[in-house]
A and B are shown apart, each in its own frame.
Chain A
Amino acid sequence: MATNLELTRPVVIADLAPRPSRLATIGAFIRTKPLGAAGALIILAMLAAAVFAGVLAPYDPYHGDYAAQFARPSAEHWFGTDEFGRDVLTRILYGAQIALFVGFTASLAGCTIGGLLGVVSAYTGGKVDLLLERLMDVLLAFPQLILALAVASILGPAVQNVVIAVAIPIIPRAARVVRATALSVKEHVYVEAVSALGATHRRVVLQHILPNVAAPYIIMVTAQLGSAILAEAALSYLGLGAAEPTPSWGLMLSGSAAAYAEKAPWIALFPGIAISLAVFGFNLFGDSLRDALDPKLRGR
């Protein structure tokens, strides 16, 4: 009697076609979703800039050449120099480090904590679910920037504090989405079946709920990445983020943007472009990823 079935392979709902090779998947992705591929390219470029900034950057981001304040873009300084004679290109490259650091850390931290809370909430149910839901509701009632503002004011201007300030508003949003997905998985018939067959809670969560939550989780991380980068820029602009002389893109835009815009427009132009490009890339990629992963939206 072969009733002691063990479902070892997690079943992703609605995926019954044979799985193609990795390379073929990527190729298909590029062909069908060129925008997403463009986004991915931008992200890779940013990552390269951040990781290899030390090698790629022609100057020290903190060193100011006093003889060359406000220098125009030229062969020596591709993006010109700022008000202290610091090379703008170098600061943009190092700025990528900060942007990506804040973006990844805040987004991952927020989504992971939120996701865990969501899974726990959905799976445990009952009073725990109710309490967590109320807690998330309270946090959700605050607009993201206002909450980040308050947290940043408590902690003071520094990059690590910006990460915390940006991550906190993400937690309830992630929790909500993951909870919804986890709930729908939990109620799906096959999970009931597996439980009836004697699978432990741990097995159910790890092998069945988590994989199905993975897709919305990944989508959320990429989606929140872009907004995390923007939030850091906004906080730095308001004076609550990174402090001088840190080469943060947002900081480069505060005050200098307008004050020197006529004399040296490149000071404000390049950080603004950098931020826009970064967020743009992550959003494009995230969008196409969602289109690809979400079974409801795949193809016609």
Chain B
Amino acid sequence: MTPTILRRPLLSIVSAALVLASVLATHPGVASAADTPRRGGVLLAVIGADPPSLDAHQESTFANVELVAPLYSTLLQLDPYHYPKIIGDLATEWKIASDGLTYTFKLHQGVKFHDGSPLTSADVKASYDKIIFPPHGVLSIRKNAYTAVTAVEAPDPATVIFKLKFPSASLLSNLASPWNVIYPKKYLDQDPNYFKTHAIGSGPFKFKNYTRGSTFEGERNPDYFVKDRPYLDGYKFFISPETSVRAAAIRSGRAYIEFRHLPAAEVDAIKKQLGDKVTVQETPMTGQWGIAVNNTVKPFTDVRVRKALSLGIDRYTMGKVLYPLTGLKNVGGLIRPDSEWGMPQAELAKLPGFWHDAEKSRAEAKKLLAEAGYPNGFKVTLKNRNVKLPYQDFAVFLIQEWRKIGIEAENRPLETAAWFNDGQNTGNFELIVAPTVEFMDDPDQFLGRYATGSTQNWGRFSDPQIDDLFSRQARSLDPVERKKLINQLEKVVLENAYFMPGLWWTRNLVHWTKVKNYLAPPNHYTNQKLQDVWLAED
């Protein structure tokens, strides 16, 4: 748990370089070990939306983190080349007490903010206080991941201590969140919302310019605490909501990279036109699209009806049909199938809705519906978000499937605010499309929503078995035992069809091959600092 290789900056650079070299030599689509990084050039990227504000603590959209991550440092980070390993960013080493209730971090020396002032533990404490104990009127989206933390202390300028009231298996993962950027305390003291409209951090790039709806620019930070980084002179994002315009921008070379996802059809066309000049990195994504069922409303109070709905979806065919159109591909439960916590496919195939025999599933579904009193099916409204990708395509497939068991579903797209309001706040729906996307495969983040009373529990169901399993896995420090508990939790949810997972996302990240050293992580939130990226040519 104590990464000794990061005890000293120089040593860490050397070892990082060695790691880098070995990874570069083996990973396709990244520079071979013979290429030396070139200094210079501005990375041109396209992005599909504007963030509501620049404060990463208060936002959860990729539009925020992609733009501002290069400007900041975090305490810990996910290793860009070895997901899901956690390494330090500002932290050089850390110790966890044997009772799991105290975490002590040591910070880099000599780190400076972009305005020249030094970064000390006071800034780390102030930033984390804002995240864990937000002042009145300030939003902290991820506050509830830190319920175990009682206090953050900064006994000396190079040490930060987290004190907990119960052991938390996920604390380190949460601290590695790309959203937990470290702000200078003095601006937070003036106005906790200062960073909604300003960007002063300690990251590899400095904020240069932001024109809403148009561009976001950053320039190289010559005083960055990691020597000889970043390689780029700057980066520039073009904001362009239409997917096809972004794809056209990549094709014509107006932009070199799109960090989120392009649909397979666009990717094929780009590859066909540009051949080796582009690289496509296909990565599984820590996100899934599912359907939340309102467990408090008839006929969904009846477990047979819920099960029938889930049985009616042929998920394996869905993956094949929807993958070329969206990124939805992999069949899985509540935790990503290929992650360390995912349920093995053989076990999953025994649960209702995941049988390989679609005809058998549909027959069973019709039988259950008849038993529950709906031999001829019924009409239902599927509320949805009014965004094309992948919400509408997802709905089209579902509707078609459910027709086969006699259920007439009507797709009702709503504006994001209304959809979210109906789903989360008021529960005003029968069925509603509900995605779950997090920055890593952390079980707390993915499974918290199935516990009683969680505000993310859109289906409003309550099962004490689930609650018990969840709190036990959250405190379980043994990964083997934890996985067992997690899989059990999944089984309870899926057998009772409290919630219906759909498919997990696989994304295609497209970039010009001249963009070197960028390894796509399994989501578009992490590895956005761009500190190791370089351009082979302008």
Q: Please say whether the chains A and B touch (CB closer than 8 A).
A: yes
Q: Which residues of A contact B (CB under 8 A)?
A: 62-64, 66, 69-70, 83-85, 153, 156-158, 239, 243-245, 254-255, 258-263
- A243's partner among B325, B397, B411 (CB-CB below 8 A) is B411
Q: Would you call B283 an interface residue if the criterion is a C-beta within 8 Å of the partner chain's C-beta atoms?
A: no
| Nearest A residue (CB) for B262 | A259
Q: Is the CB of A244 within 8 A of B265?
A: no
The verdict on A245 contacting B411 (CB below 8 Å), with A62-B400, A66-B321 known, is: yes
| Nearest A residue (CB) for B411 | A243
B243 to chain A, nearest CB (A): 6
- A153's partner among B392, B412, B415 (CB-CB below 8 A) is B415
Query: Is chain B's interface secondary structure helix, strand, loop, or mixed overall?
Result: helix
Bound state CA distance, A181 and B165, in angstroms? 82
The residues of A that contact B384 with a CB separation of less than 8 Å are: 243
The residues of B that contact A239 with a CB separation of less than 8 Å are: 386, 388, 413
- A69's partner among B268, B324, B411, B413 (CB-CB below 8 A) is B324
Bound state CA distance, A243 and B392, in angstroms? 8
| Nearest A residue (CB) for B244 | A258
Q: Is the CB of B265 within 8 A of A66?
A: no
Interface membership of chain B positions 382-412, coded 1 if the CB is closer than 8 angstroms to chain A and 0 otherwise: 0010101100110111011001000000011
Q: Is the CB of B411 within 8 A of A262?
A: no
Q: Is the CB of A258 within 8 A of B242?
A: yes
Q: Is the CB of B321 within 8 A of A259?
A: no
Q: Is the CB of B412 within 8 A of A259?
A: no
Q: Which residues of B contact A (CB under 8 A)?
A: 242-245, 263, 265-266, 268-269, 317, 320-321, 324-325, 384, 386, 388-389, 392-393, 395-397, 399-400, 403, 411-415
Bound state CA distance, A254 and B389, in angstroms? 12
A20 to chain B, nearest CB (A): 52
Q: Is the CB of A259 within 8 A of B393?
A: no
- B413's partner among A66, A85, A157 (CB-CB below 8 A) is A157
Q: Is the CB of B399 within 8 A of A245?
A: yes
Q: Is the CB of B388 within 8 A of A66?
A: no
Bound state CA distance, A62 and B395, in angstroms? 12
Q: Is the CB of A62 within 8 A of B393?
A: no
The residues of B that contact A66 with a CB separation of less than 8 Å are: 317, 320-321
The residues of B that contact A63 with a CB separation of less than 8 Å are: 400
| Nearest A residue (CB) for B384 | A243
The residues of B that contact A158 with a CB separation of less than 8 Å are: 412
Q: Is the CB of A64 within 8 A of B400?
A: yes
Bound state CA distance, A239 and B321, in angstroms? 23
Bound state CA distance, A258 and B242, in angstroms? 9
Q: Is the CB of A83 within 8 A of B413?
A: no
A68 to chain B, nearest CB (A): 11
The residues of A that contact B389 with a CB separation of less than 8 Å are: 255
- B265's partner among A64, A245, A260 (CB-CB below 8 A) is A260
Q: Is the CB of A69 within 8 A of B321?
A: yes
Please give 18 more A-B residue pairs, beta carbons under 8 A apart, in addition to A62-B400, A69-B324, A243-B392. A62-B403, A70-B324, A84-B393, A84-B396, A84-B397, A85-B321, A157-B386, A157-B413, A243-B411, A243-B413, A244-B392, A255-B244, A255-B389, A258-B243, A258-B245, A259-B266, A261-B244, A263-B268
Q: Is the CB of A255 within 8 A of B415?
A: no
Q: Identify the 5 closest CB pairs spanning chains A and B, nearest first.
A: A258-B244, A244-B392, A262-B269, A245-B396, A255-B388
Bound state CA distance, A192 and B453, in angstroms? 77
Q: List 8 A-B contacts (CB under 8 A).
A: A64-B397, A66-B317, A66-B321, A83-B324, A157-B413, A239-B413, A245-B396, A258-B245
Bound state CA distance, A239 and B324, in angstroms? 22
Bound state CA distance, A63 and B400, in angstroms? 7
| Nearest B residue (CB) for A260 | B265
Q: Is the CB of B263 within 8 A of A243?
A: no
Q: Identify the interface centre among B266, B384, B399: most chain A CB within 10 Å of its CB.
A: B266
Q: Identify the interface centre among A239, A243, A261, A263: most chain B CB within 10 Å of its CB.
A: A243
The verdict on A156 contacting B265 (CB below 8 Å), with A245-B399, A259-B243, A259-B244 known, is: no
- A263's partner among B265, B395, B413 (CB-CB below 8 A) is B265
Bound state CA distance, A256 and B389, in angstroms? 11
Bound state CA distance, A83 and B323, in angstroms? 11
Bound state CA distance, A273 and B278, in angstroms? 34
B429 to chain A, nearest CB (A): 14
Bound state CA distance, A85 and B400, in angstroms? 12
The residues of B that contact A83 with a CB separation of less than 8 Å are: 324-325, 393
| Nearest B residue (CB) for A64 | B400
A82 to chain B, nearest CB (A): 10
Bound state CA distance, A244 and B384, in angstroms? 11
Bound state CA distance, A86 and B461, in angstroms? 37
The residues of B that contact A157 with a CB separation of less than 8 Å are: 386, 413
Bound state CA distance, A261 and B265, in angstroms? 9
Q: Is the CB of B395 within 8 A of A244?
A: yes
| Nearest B residue (CB) for A62 | B400
Bound state CA distance, A88 and B389, in angstroms? 21
The residues of A that contact B396 with a CB separation of less than 8 Å are: 64, 84, 244-245
Bound state CA distance, A153 and B413, in angstroms? 11
| Nearest B residue (CB) for A251 | B392
Q: Is the CB of B414 within 8 A of A156?
A: yes
| Nearest B residue (CB) for A258 | B244
Bound state CA distance, A153 and B415, in angstroms? 8
Bound state CA distance, A197 and B410, in angstroms? 61
A291 to chain B, nearest CB (A): 41
Bound state CA distance, A66 and B317, in angstroms? 8
Bound state CA distance, A274 and B321, in angstroms? 27
B400 to chain A, nearest CB (A): 6
Bound state CA distance, A262 and B412, in angstroms? 30
B430 to chain A, nearest CB (A): 16
Bound state CA distance, A120 and B413, in angstroms? 40
| Nearest B residue (CB) for A70 | B324
A58 to chain B, nearest CB (A): 18
Bound state CA distance, A255 and B265, in angstroms? 12
B116 to chain A, nearest CB (A): 47
Bound state CA distance, A66 and B245, in angstroms? 28
| Nearest B residue (CB) for A246 | B411
Bound state CA distance, A249 and B403, in angstroms? 23
The residues of B that contact A70 with a CB separation of less than 8 Å are: 324
The verdict on A254 contacting B388 (CB below 8 Å), with A69-B321, A69-B324, A259-B266 known, is: yes
| Nearest A residue (CB) for B245 | A258
B315 to chain A, nearest CB (A): 13
A108 to chain B, nearest CB (A): 27
| Nearest B residue (CB) for A156 | B414
The verdict on A244 contacting B325 (CB below 8 Å), with A157-B386, A262-B269 known, is: no
Q: Is the CB of B411 within 8 A of A244?
A: yes
A11 to chain B, nearest CB (A): 53
B271 to chain A, nearest CB (A): 11
B403 to chain A, nearest CB (A): 7
Bound state CA distance, A27 and B496, in angstroms? 71
The residues of A that contact B399 with a CB separation of less than 8 Å are: 62, 245
Bound state CA distance, A169 and B395, in angstroms? 32
Q: Identify the interface centre among A83, A156, A255, A259: most chain B CB within 10 Å of its CB.
A: A259
